[in-house]
Structure 1
Amino acid sequence: MINSTMALRRGLAAVAAASLLATGLSACGSSDESAGASSADTLRVVLPAQPATLDPIVGARSAQVVWATVIEPLVATGEDLEPTDTGLITAWERTDDLTWTFTLREGVTFSNGEPADAAAAVNTLEMVRDLDTSILKSFWGNAVSFEAPDATTLVITTKAPQYDVVNQLGTVYLVPPKYYEEKGTEGFAAAPIGTGPYLFDAMRAGRDISVKRNPDYWGDAAETEKLVFSWSPEASQRLALLRSKSVDVAFDLPPAQQDQADKAGLDVTATESAMKIIAFLQTDKAPFNDPDVAKAAALAVDRDKIVEGIFNGKAVADGGLLNVKPGTQPDVVVEQDLAKAKELLAGKSVEVPIAYPAGQYTNIEEVAQAVGGMLTEAGFKVKYNAMDYGSLVTQIGGGELDGMYIFAGVPNVAVPSFFVNGFMRSASITKNCGSPETDAMADEAVSQPDAAAAEAIYDELNEIGVVDKNCYIPLYRQIYGYAVADGVKDVKYSPLNAVDFTDVTVG
């Protein structure tokens, strides 16, 4: 969702503050204290940001790189970003238009001994649907009931037909019912328990988080005994930590650092991600409740210049919202037309605040400045509002912002309905573009027999949100870069902003 992923519910900032207090950058990535000396039994990873929370019920999917080592989704996702039968759910059947029946893997337990059965799945899904703080609440409003007729059978009944229920289960992470109820979100985030290949080990607030191999994992055992995650918002520092052998993997390296790492002889991987950076217009408030002003802003932006000027071509200009899979583009986009933008403004003095999460995404400050410069050229007056990620998340979810905010959209699962539910329904997270019309179209799309039958409706929804109403100015799809130290093998990055560490070896 907003990555990514898309953590935009009130209460998340409080959870983040309580569970993972940041105490300063200087400690992060320290070779003597946080990660320890290089070892064949330990993989040391430096991330661009500290996870806001390790609770998947309320947390942004940008943190799943950490928690997914411990907690697993109900449905696994393959390299083609489609559901597979290799995870906790091993089979499914659409019993009728409104009913899905799933088979859970037999004999799996959480690391605290609780059964990871259909009853646990029902409990997790009910929290995801019903809790006010649930990050996926808006995605499960169509679910009438979750039932467990026996330990390995899960039955989901919906109000209206929904073809993508299986896909949506790919971002529902299974949590132990008794432990979660006992600990609550803050307690769970401080010491999460799951069914995954690793067990939570330790958390040093503001410094690092470590996990250790689960000796009783139901699947193939992880190759590496321990993972240690630290963080630094500065890409140059992440690369410096890797080059100094203080860490083994440096994630989210911008093009400049990718080039430097390559010249230093490090193994660099660059993958087109499903994550795209989007400028959101709060079209229910001034100044963008004026359709001409919103259209002028959309016509002012040249995404190709951003890709070439800031990323040296190492990003993919993308003018669509609902084309979620890498390599896809919409049929209709908004191209820059400064003359038309100025004509629409008609000499009016329009002030636009641009909020963005400082340090959260690759080159985000430069991107915000570039967008602001283009708006200024069209005649807008721009005010920049750099915020920390948690504060921006809270203000978006609380409907406190006006103007424009630049954020990442990460489809946790690769279906258009994910962004429709998150952004385009009246009850969506952003609440900046929903209407009875889009709600009805969203219902019609998801009630189709399959993705192919729904495609034309999603194309129309995309055109409404991006081209007609200008609720969104999609900018670019990130090419995600990371580098590993000599001897590190088999780090597997997914375009859905997930990483599989189970086969990683450290030479």
Structure 2
Amino acid sequence: MRLARPAALLSIAVLTACSAPSGPAQPGAQNQGDDTFVIGISSEFENLSPILGYAADGGSLMFDGLMSRSPDLSLKPALAAQPPVTSPDGKKVTFKLRDGVTFHDGRALTSKDVVYTYTTILDPKASSPISGDYAAIDKVAAPDAKTVEFTLKYPYAPLTQRTTLGIVPDGGIDPAKPVGTGPYTFTQWTPGDKISLAANEKYWGGAPAIKKVVVAFAPDDNVRSTRLAAGEFDATVLPPKAAKRFEGQRGVTVYKQHSADYRGIMFPSKPAVTGDRAIRKAFSLAVDRQAMVDSILAGAGEPAFGPVPHDIAWHNKEITGNPAADLPQATKVLDDAGWKPGSDGIRAKGATKASFTLMYPAGDSLRKELALAAASDAKKAGIEVKLAGLDWDAIEPRMAQDALMMGYGSPYDPDYINYDLFHSSQAGKGFFNPGHYSNPAVDKVLEKGRESADPAVRKQAYDEFQKLIREDEAWTYLTFLKHVYVVRGSYQGIQQSVDAHEHATGGLFRDIHTWKPGV
């Protein structure tokens, strides 16, 4: 969602920010002969089709893209035989395909499969939720069986990054049995429970050592922690406080991995209260981000004031703030805007009370704690925040009316996510721009950053973008997270990276097909 990234714009600080494991890994169940590795994740997939947005950033075990990412975030060829060639005007990008690649059903990969994947995404009839990410593509052609040519409407620097998208066979895939070229083949999907995968013994990159992978769905953080402790899971992702019980435990390793993944509050722009910039600004001033990092994240994160981490060179250094609460300034902003304290301590402007609902996914303990803390802080400034822990099906239809504790973020390119979340053309497209935010100046700089091939021009555009949404307080950004993975047993080949906000088997698990059991 959820591209050629100028290497110079990614700072070395990001690439070295991953924490080392917290304790020695000891042999676990996997090392005792069980060839199934069970991963517990927090949310079930909506679908298993790259065309419909599944693992578009490459975090899939069943599909490969033309390109993939190394742990340092640099791009490397996957289904492509070599890096692409770009024409001098930046409007034609040509890939040559790797020899000897087959789909799980035995069909040989050809350029027609690549053409089908991308043209289907761009076809309005397909209703692909990620079509906007590929809007720069004018057409995709297959001059021969091993060549793919992208013709662009304008030079689009992030295109190569976008080609981590999984390729499906010409003609599409059966939703009940998806077929890709990846290191694992689909075996079974039990809705509400798990997906089972088996090693692709003919994988072009080499057969995986771990022969079976089960991805189990467990939305509740405490449930995932309990099931890992009971030996039902071999690995999972947990909030920092929930993971503390495993630190130093024999047979378990805790990995703390740097990420561009943030938590923040999305404000709908149409309602009278959340649509008032003074309310949003005062709310942001009232929250104590540092306390959230210290207590809720147990130090595994940092305060956030915008969508780009400070240690990525795309970050605008002017985007900062007070990590602690600034209650005097918050109350001044409200006073100046005419929001007067009531007898109950809650402010009002005329007949409108400074009160709104903040939703969060009920099973996500981290978002719940952040929401509770934010509501408590806001009340001190006279803003009432009514909390609602709901499931995603209940949340989605209410996002244009009620605020939401959201999570997003990508380290790859500032076009990622930000265009989808803040360009007015994306308003109301599911979880893209759910608050219907609209600012013509923001639209203009997002388009400029997307359409320029000049790194300096793009940097200027995204600096201005960050400044504009900060001035609008379109969201209240709270924290960047360190992702905390807990793994039972000992494996060679685990490589830490810099995470995005992942919903597939990305992050630490992205390269599980290269892991080998044993010390």
Contact 1:298 1:334 in 2 (8 A): no
Q: Give 2:244's aligned amino acid.
A: D
Name the structure 1 match of 2:22: none
Q: Which residue of 1 aligns with 2:514?
A: 503
- Per-residue deviation at 1:300? 2.2
Between the two proteins, what is the percent identity of the paired residues?
23
Post-superposition offset of 1:255: 2.1
For 1:242 and 1:211, locate their aligned partners in 2 and report how far apart those are by CA, in whole Å. 20
Equivalent residue in structure 1 for 2:420, among 419, 422, 430: 422
Matching residue's letter, 2:511: D
- Per the TM alignment, residue 327 of structure 1 is displaced from its structure 2 partner at its CA by 8.9
Tell me the alpha carbon deviations over residues 252-304 of structure 1, each in whole angstroms, 9 at most, x when there is no partner: 12223322111422211110122111211122433232222222222222221
Q: Could you say what the CA RMSD is over the residues aligned between the two structures, in angstroms? A: 2.7
Q: Secondary structure at the match of 1:363?
A: helix
Amino acid at match of 1:409: Y
Distance 2:172 2:182 in 1: 16
2:122 equivalent to 1:135: no
Question: What is the aligned counterpart of 2:210 among 224, 238, 245?
Answer: 224
Alignment of 1:35-184 (within 5 A): 39-59=33-53, 61=55, 68-88=60-80, 90-95=82-87, 96-131=89-124, 133-170=127-164, 172-180=165-173, 183=174
Is 1:52–1:59's contact at 8 Å kept on the other side of the alignment? no
Q: 1:219–1:319: structure 2 CA closer, same or farther, 3 Å change rule?
A: same
Determine which of 448, 455, 459 is the counterpart of 2:452.
Answer: 448
Please tell me whether residue 387 in structure 1 is matched to residue 390 in structure 2: yes
Report if the CA contact (8 A) 1:273-1:326 is conserved.
Answer: no
Q: Say which of 254, 258, 262 aligns to 2:239.
A: 254
TM-score by length of 2: 0.81
Q: 1:364 & 1:343 partners in 2: Cα distance?
A: 28
Report the counterpart of residue 316 of structure 1 in structure 2.
302
The aligned residue for residue 435 of structure 1 is 439
Task: Look at both structures and tell me which one has the larger radius of gyration over its CA atoms.
Answer: 2
Structure-1-length-normalised TM-score: 0.83
Given that 2:273 and 2:354 are in contact with CA atoms closer than 8 Å, whether structure 1 keeps it comes out as: yes
Deviation at residue 37 of structure 1 after TM alignment: 12
Q: What amino acid sits opposite 1:268 in the alignment?
A: V
Residue identity in the other structure for 2:157: Y
* 8 Å Cα contact 1:40-1:505 kept in structure 2: no
Distance change in 2, residues 1:272/1:258 (3 Å): same
Determine the structure 2 residue equivalent to 1:11: none
**Are 1:277 and 2:263 matched, yes or no?**
yes
Bigger shift: 335-344 or 366-375? Answer: 335-344
Distance 1:473 1:358 in 2: 20
Contact 2:179 2:185 in 1 (8 A): yes
In the alignment, is the contact (CA less than 8 A) between 1:52 and 1:390 conserved in 2? no
Q: Is the 8 A contact 2:209 2:517 kept in 1?
A: no
Change (3 A) 1:317 1:381: same
Report if aligned partners of 1:224, 1:505 keep a CA contact under 8 Å in 2.
Answer: yes
Indicate conservation of the 8 Å contact 2:273/2:279, yes or no.
yes
Supply the distance in 2 between the matched residues of 1:481 and 1:322 (Cα, whole angstroms): 20
> C-alpha separation between the residues in 1 aligned to 2:213 and 2:328?
54
SS in structure 1 opposite 2:416?
A: helix
Letter matched to residue 38 of structure 2: R
Shift of 1:321: 1.2
What is residue 185 of structure 2 aligned with on the other side? 199
Tell me which stretches of 4 or more aligned residues in structure 1 moved more than 6 Å. Answer: 35-38, 324-328
Alpha-carbon separation, structure 2, partners of 1:105 and 1:51: 29
What corresponds to 2:461 in structure 1?
A: 457
Q: What is the CA-CA distance between 1:155 and the residue it aligns to?
A: 1.6
Relative distance call for 1:191 and 1:492 in structure 2 (3 A) is farther
For residue 500 of structure 1, what is the amino acid of its counterpart? Answer: D
The alpha-carbon distance between structure 1 residues 62 and 441, as it changes in their structure 2 partners (threshold 3 A), is closer
Q: 2:493 aligns with which of 490, 495, 502?
A: 490
- Asked if 1:474 corresponds to 2:477, the answer is yes
